[in-house]
Amino acid sequence: MPVQPPLKTRERLSEVRYEIRGELARRARELEAQGRTLIKLNIGNPGAFGFRAPDHLQRAIADHIHDTDPYTHQQGLPAAREAIAAAYAARGAPDASPERVFIGNGVSELIDLSLRALLDPGDEVLLPSPDYPLWSAATILNDGRPVYYRCEAADGFLPDPDAMEALVSSRTRAIVLINPNNPTGACYPRALLERIVAIARRHDLLLMTDEIYDGILYDGATFEPLAPLAGDVPCLSFGGLSKVHRACGWRVGWALLSGDEARVAGLHHAMDLLGALRLCANVPGQFAIEAALRGTDTISALCAPGGRLYEARRAVVESCAASAHLSLVAPAGALYAFPGVTGAAVVGFDDHAFALELLETEDVLVVPGSSFNVPYRHHFRVTLLPEPDALREVFARIERVLDRRAAQAAAATGGTRARADAAVA
């Protein structure tokens, strides 16, 4: 019997990168199966580090579990959408009505759904570099083309609006913002956001703002929601329960579509249609939304001095400051840090090779910086979720690997210099 060829898969998948759960994570599972104990800093998953969703959210689900068997409306439970609309209206978002709210199985599903509703083949989306790679993947898999605007460490990982606008073409459909940012922790100031809104207004673009970390802020940093600044400019604002409320596994996200009714009506219809095709989002988790948005603030104490997230961030900032090989723009928000390698250790440095060596020799899993769609290879991302002492230990292990790499680079440079001197002699 002839050998059958393997099934063909979609070609565009070859363009998709998601190292957060990719090759290195698979190798980590192999090492764990061998009995190794790893410190895994690749995913911002609060429950994996001992955090729990607040009790009042858990009770809200338990109290309504008998109501969760049927499908609900494709846009979500009415009471949950009312709570979301009220929260955005309180921030000053225009047109924040329940009819403009979509609830999904996490923000990830809604990002994919909204880009599918928006893009024709070849359409372009302006994305930050570094980005959260789901945004690039969803653009590509919906037949769009990512166009990256640079967010440089020298600028605090904030974009240059003039450089952004220079990237706009006749095929550009949207500008994506991640604020507070994953992976860098940058928080966008109001004046910068106003300039980006002006770009969208001039070029008739949709604003898409990923605000899933909106309540996770440090050292007096402020979060500026985009919808109030956008006004009548079409804007999709994404949020959810996974980070601020530490409920990743519940898969509860939402999007608010704001802006001029006539301009957003078509997108609203398209998103409603796509939402209906998948019937509805997870119902039990939706009963926690009202409790989350109208209940007790449980995140601010974690982000204040003495709080666990604040002290974890302090451990990372101080470890990088003490390092002979690392630089860091201190994260102002979110759950990550994005250190860069400098000095002798950066000679010949490859972030993937470094991450693999760190995993194999020091039992620490990080994400290579190039996974976030940047053109350089000397950064890596860690999550701030472990205990502070665990993070100090992680950076001690990172320092050992970088010490070795710096010594190897120095030896190679010294050998090259010696050969050159000998040739001259």
152-171 pLDDT, tens digit each: 999 999 999 999 999 999 99
Percent with pLDDT over 70 in the chain: 97
Question: Span 346-357, mean pLDDT?
Answer: 93
Helix axes 261-277, 106-118, angle to 10 degrees: 120
Residue 415, pLDDT score: 53
Residue 2, pLDDT score: 78
| Angle at alpha carbon of residue 181, lines to 228 and 398, rounded to 5° | 165
Residue 304, pLDDT score: 98
Question: Span 313-326, mean pLDDT?
Answer: 97
Question: What is the number of other CB atoms lying within 10 angstroms of the CB of residue 9?
Answer: 8
Could you say which DSSP state residue 233 is in? S
SS3 267: helix
SS3 243: coil
Model confidence over 405-420: pLDDT tens digits?
999 888 876 655 545 4
- Annotate 326-394 with DSSP letters as a single string: EE----SBSSEE--EE-GGGGTT--HHHHHHHHHHHH-EE-EEGGGGS-S--SBEEEES-S-HHHHHHH
Question: Span 243-269, mean pLDDT?
Answer: 96
Model confidence over 360-392: pLDDT tens digits?
999 999 999 999 999 999 999 999 999 999 999
- Reported pTM: 0.92
Regarding the domain with residue range 11-51+301-424, which homologous superfamily does it belong to in the CATH classification? Aspartate Aminotransferase, domain 1 (3.90.1150.10)
CB 97 within 8 A of CB 85: yes
HSE-CB for 251 with a 13 A CA cutoff: 10
**104, β-bridge pairs:** 253
Match 């579509």 to its residue by tokens.
257
Question: Between these two residues, 414 and 197, which has the higher pLDDT value?
Answer: 197
Residue 19, pLDDT score: 74
Question: What is the number of other CB atoms lying within 10 angstroms of the CB of residue 52?
Answer: 12
Percent with pLDDT over 90 in the chain: 88
Model confidence over 10-64: pLDDT tens digits?
888 888 877 777 889 899 999 999 999 999 999 899 999 999 999 999 999 999 9
* pLDDT band for position 424 (cuts 50, 70, 90): very low
Same fold, 11-51+301-424 and 55-294: no
Residue 420, pLDDT score: 46
Question: For 55-294, CATH number?
Answer: 3.40.640.10
φ, ψ for residue 400, nearest 5 deg:
-60, -45
Q: Is the pLDDT of residue 422 over 70?
A: no
Could you say which DSSP state residue 69 is in? S
In whole angstroms, give the CA distance from residue 137 to residue 146: 9
Domain locations in the chain as residue ranges = 11-51+301-424, 55-294
In whole angstroms, give the CA distance from residue 365 to residue 382: 9
Residue 418, pLDDT score: 47
How high does pLDDT run on average in the chain? Answer: 94
Question: Span 183-197, mean pLDDT?
Answer: 98
Q: Is the pLDDT of residue 421 over 70?
A: no
